[in-house]
């Protein structure tokens, strides 16, 4: 199936590795030009060069901290200056500390909300008038199934994710009439450095080893493995393509029907 993405311009936050990188790879392989952001310049530039070499598309590394409004605005402005427009926004720059209510500090809650919720809100805000004026745009927020289900050990992520999902529903309702679509993609555990870090922290908090933490995650998923970043990227790539034009305001889990309660120890 031709996804009709050739020549589109995509802006992807948090994409030097993990899910964002896989999204950048797939969009470029489908013919899109891509701008990727992350805080650390060197791995970001390395990723951009590799994807450009593999796809033959323009892939631009734009270092920036997506928890800082001024960095978001700078990267969006530079992208529009360079390519003339942005067709696609995918937000992946998020991380929320895990933990149980009595262990989570004010700082844990605020850092999660500042990056995973307000970072996503600010990024959408930075592109929305541009997309409204052009009469088109496709946005996907990579959020997380903690926003759709009670989250056992990831409460700060759950609250930020639920807020992202509600925010996206409102944007879908208000901007659909301008041809701008927004959807959320909600993974459970995905095989990335972030998941590895969460498993280590879970193991520490629950006083088990990481192998046991991984077993618990796997046994909470009826498909009996965790997701690969490329599987999330395939869903995102379809959703931002014109093929998915009538999908707007949807919140799609990609978690193999995980039951988080089964991770309790
Ligand atoms: N992996 C999972 O199991 C899972 C499950 C559900 C939801 N998610 C969500 O999916 C998204 C991507 O997760 P992932 O697993 O792919 O993470 P990852 O492998 O840790 O990659 C995160 C990427 O985001 C960048 N990043 C982190 N903080 C940033 C910031 N403040 N500004 C700009 N870039 C930043 C990182 O580079 P730098 O560190 O250099 O900035 C890196 O490129 C996150 O929102 C996460 O919450 C992940």
**Domain residue limits, the chain:** 9-191+228-256
Answer whether residue 194 shows pLDDT above 80. yes
186, 147 in Cβ contact below 8 A? yes
User: Residues 152, 260: contact at Cβ < 8 Å?
Assistant: yes
Q: How confident is the model at residue 263 (pLDDT cuts 50, 70, 90)?
A: confident
Confidence label for 151 from pLDDT (cuts 50, 70 and 90):
confident
Model confidence pLDDT, tens digit, residues 154-167: 999 999 999 999 99
Please give all residues whose beta carbon lies within 6 A of any atom in ligand 1, as ranges: 13-20, 37-40, 65-67, 92-95, 115-116, 142, 144, 187, 189-190, 192-195
Q: Which of 133-137, 141-145, 148-152, 178-182 has the lowest mean pLDDT?
A: 148-152
The pLDDT value recorded for residue 100 is 87
Which mutation among 11, 12, 14 tests ligand 1's pocket best, with the greatest number of atoms within 8 A of CB?
14
Per CATH, the homologous superfamily of domain 9-191+228-256 is NAD(P)-binding Rossmann-like Domain (3.40.50.720)
Which residue do the tokens 């995102």 mark? 236
What pLDDT, in 10s, does the model give residues 97-129? 988 899 999 999 999 999 999 999 999 999 999
Nearest C-alpha to atom 27 of ligand 1 is from which residue?
93
pLDDT score for 264: 76
Model pLDDT for residues 33-61, shown as the tens digit of each residue:
999 999 999 999 999 999 999 999 999 99
Burial class (CB in 10 A: 0-12, 13-18, 19+), 129: exposed
């Amino acid at each position: 199936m031709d996804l009709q993405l050739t020549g589109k311009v995509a802006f992807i936050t948090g994409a030097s590795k993990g899910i964002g990188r896989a999204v950048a790879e797939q969009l470029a392989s489908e013919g899109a030009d891509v701008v990727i952001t992350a805080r650390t310049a060197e791995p970001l530039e390395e990723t951009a060069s590799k994807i450009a070499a593999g796809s033959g598309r323009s892939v631009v590394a734009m270092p920036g901290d997506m928890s800082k409004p001024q960095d978001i605005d700078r990267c969006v402005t530079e992208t529009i200056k360079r390519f003339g427009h942005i067709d696609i926004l995918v937000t992946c720059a998020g991380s929320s500390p895990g933990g149980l209510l009595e262990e989570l500090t004010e700082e844990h809650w605020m850092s999660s909300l500042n990056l995973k919720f307000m970072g996503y809100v600010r990024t959408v805000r930075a592109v929305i008038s541009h997309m409204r004026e052009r009469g088109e745009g496709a946005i996907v927020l990579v959020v997380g199934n903690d926003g759709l289900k009670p989250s056992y050990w990831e409460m700060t992520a759950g609250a930020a994710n639920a807020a992202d999902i509600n925010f996206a529903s409102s944007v879908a309702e208000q901007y659909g009439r301008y041809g701008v679509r927004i959807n959320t993609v909600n993974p459970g555990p995905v095989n990335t450095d972030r998941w590895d870090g969460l498993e280590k922290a879970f193991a520490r908090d629950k006083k088990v080893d990481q192998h046991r933490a991984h077993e618990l995650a796997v046994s909470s998923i009826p498909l009996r493995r965790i997701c690969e970043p490329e599987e999330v990227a395939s869903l995102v790539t379809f959703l931002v393509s014109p093929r998915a034009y009538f999908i707007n305001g949807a919140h799609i889990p990609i978690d193999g029907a995980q039951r988080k309660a089964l991770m309790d120890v």
